[in-house]
Structure 1
């Protein structure tokens, strides 16, 4: 079985490597061939265009940035759907709105191609450890066929229902990521503003009901050390919470905390932080309160 892969960024490149390590035959396409070289060096094949990859591969995986990227890669005269063989299975790992997933699903079924929306959670380390959470929507018999591939990168893999179901579940997860990110940032900045030691406060919260995975991730891996090299960038969380908020509005809610989170991530983007890690949403809050959440300098005595 030939697996094609489009979208070899932070997550996608790691997925390709893990698939290769498990003995799979993987081909990649990137807009600039140079970016594919590290993957070629570990065994990936390179194909010159999306049409060529679509014609050659039995399963096509995509892991892209934005909903518009998904539509562009799948649709149009140079897209996957125009050139994939009858019976090809497409698996999209991108976080998009359910409308995008349903649109691509409807287009694929007309051409005898199968499509699953299968967004993931767990970050780069989740790919490397094969422990990603994968949330899948589409047709269950198609899911069963690609499950062995998903098991290479995922630890928790759930089939949730019709097309768009995986995207809905992922957006709910991202809603919580955004809200928890803002809440954790506000709490730690408030503590610093009142003179509390940030490390001491964090250690107390970690053994209290205020603990959360996001609190630990952001503070321990990024904020306290003042390094914001992205695992998941501000711009992507902003996109995700915006899409999630649309879902919540459609569910019938008027006011909800995700709206504040969206404002906070939008503000962070506007302040030039879009390419930093999502934990950088704390920086405008620190600036407003004139504090810095960081480790206390160690005494030499």
Structure 2
């Protein structure tokens, strides 16, 4: 089986590697060619363009940053060239309507399209514990399930096109809200002279804990290490889309709107390319404290 993979960023490169390690033929494309080098060294084939990749692969995967990139690439350079019967798996986080528009065009071309966003970060891929939320045709899902099992532990088929994207945005809503709440809590603690490491230990053993509190503080903030596992700018994009989804559901005032503001502020202050945990930095500046490990 020949698999094409478009988009070799933090997540895409790792997912593609797991597919290659699973014994699959892999054709890769990335706008920045240097990002293909490690996979080519492991046996992948580099495509010169997306059109040629689409023509020769039975399964086409993508992991892209922005909804507009995703829609443009599929509508203009994947679907016009892919063969009838091809299955497309999109691991990107996009809006429900974006997924449904791509699905509709794919179906008209005799191609299956699955919205299959992922959660768990790069460590989830490495440990094969990723979560995948899938919408689209169930027959196509069953066909690619063995491939997904190479790097994911929790794989849920949720129903019609857009279902996977909706579930992912709900997840990202919680990621954003919990990230800002954890940041506010830790900055408040530091302002009152509490030892940050001790406070994290206490909170993670109490009802106030969250996965974002533990992730951000233990692996990024306390050590002041903000190399991105998932960048601030992408969480901002996700929670903005999630807020639109929640508004469509009929929910008015939302905690997510405050979270969106918090992530927007972090971008405005120059932290957009840092890990999402850097959403704490504007709050630290505001309160004149720094949440860090005391050695």
Tell me the number of residue pairs that the alignment of Structure 1 and Structure 2 aligns.
295
- Alignment partners' CA distance in 2, 1:40 and 1:106: 33
Structure 2 gap segments, 5+ residues each:
none
**Per-residue Cα deviation, 1:217-265 (whole angstroms, up to 9, x for no partner):** 0000000001111000000000000000001111111101000000000
Paired residue secondary structure (1:134): strand
> Which 4+ runs in 1 deviate beyond 4 A?
none
Taking structure 1 as the reference length, the TM-score comes to 0.97
C-alpha RMSD over aligned residues: 0.7
Deviation at 1:10, TM superposition (A): 0.6
Residue matched to 1:217: 215
**Per-residue Cα deviation, 1:118-138 (whole angstroms, up to 9, x for no partner):** 000010011111111000000
Paired residue secondary structure (1:101): helix
2:61 is aligned with 1:61:
yes
Paired residue secondary structure (1:75): helix
- Alignment partners' CA distance in 2, 1:161 and 1:203: 40
Paired residue secondary structure (1:4): strand
2:240 is aligned with 1:242:
yes
- Alignment partners' CA distance in 2, 1:232 and 1:33: 22
Residue matched to 1:271: 269
Residue matched to 1:228: 226
Deviation at 1:35, TM superposition (A): 2.5
2:21 is aligned with 1:21:
yes
Residue matched to 2:159: 161
- Alignment partners' CA distance in 2, 1:204 and 1:61: 42
- Alignment partners' CA distance in 1, 2:82 and 2:59: 10
User: 1:32 and 1:222, CA in 2 relative to 1: closer, same or farther beyond 3 A?
Assistant: closer
2:32 is aligned with 1:11:
no
Residue matched to 1:255: 253
Structure 1 gap segments, 5+ residues each:
none
**Per-residue Cα deviation, 1:243-295 (whole angstroms, up to 9, x for no partner):** 00001111111101000000000000011100000000000000100111111
- Alignment partners' CA distance in 1, 2:285 and 2:256: 22
Residue matched to 2:140: 142
Residue matched to 1:183: 181
Residue matched to 1:102: 100
- Alignment partners' CA distance in 1, 2:143 and 2:99: 19
